[in-house]
Structures are given as structure tokens and as C-alpha cells.
Amino acid sequence: MKIKISEKEITHSIRSLLKSFGIFHWKVYQTLGSTPGVPDIIGVYKGRMIGIEVKTSNGKTSIYQDNFIKNINDAGGIAFVARSVDDVIEKLGLEKRMLLK
């Protein structure tokens, strides 16, 4: 039986990871009138904008989210969908900065 992890729990884990690496970031809270598709977590890493769209293992992105991710990447930023902290470690190349035994 696979344990279901909520988007909120994944977001918390990712933000904890980013904080532990000293990566400037913030959580975006969508409200009425917000721009559609803005990633859940926005930040700056090595002088580049980052956008992280958090999804559960079976969560789907909207066309707005797909377009926003594409626009960030096309503009020179780093944007992606993360379903776990492992995705963030991989996409930002953080494994090089981790102490592994």
C-alpha cells in the first residue's frame, strides 16, 4: 500500500530543503484575480528565477501552469514540476552540495 502525501506536505518538505540550502524563495498563494499558472514556489537561485509547481504523484498540471513553466524556462529561468524533494535536488543540481556517505 502506497502512502498518499498531500501537496501541502510536499510543499513543506521542498521549502525546508530550500531553506537548508539558503535558497531565497517564497510560497505563492493564489487568490481571486491572481495570474493563472504561477508556480507554487518562486525564488532565485544562482541569479536565476526559479519556479516550482508542486504536484502529488498523480497530480496534473493545467495548460496555464505548463505555459508559465515554459515561459520561465524560455526567459532563462529554471522552472519545473516537483512531486518530491528529490525532483528539486535533481533539477537544481543540489546533490553536488549535499554530504553523502
How does pLDDT run across 14-31, given as a tens digit for each residue? 999 999 999 999 999 988
pLDDT digits (tens, 9 = 90+) for 29-49: 988 888 999 999 999 999 999
- pLDDT tier, 101 (very low <50, low <70, confident <90, very high otherwise): very low
pLDDT at 32: 85
> In angstroms, rounded to a whole number, what is the distance separating the alpha carbons of residues 90 and 88?
5
Hey, what's the cell of 40?
A: 507554487
CA-wise closest residue to 52 among 87, 19, 76 = 87
Please determine, for residue 55, whether its predicted confidence score (pLDDT) is greater than 50. Answer: yes
Q: What whole-number percentage of the chain has pLDDT above 90?
A: 84
Hey, what's the cell of 62?
A: 493545467
In the chain, what are the domains? 7-94 (3.40.1350.10)
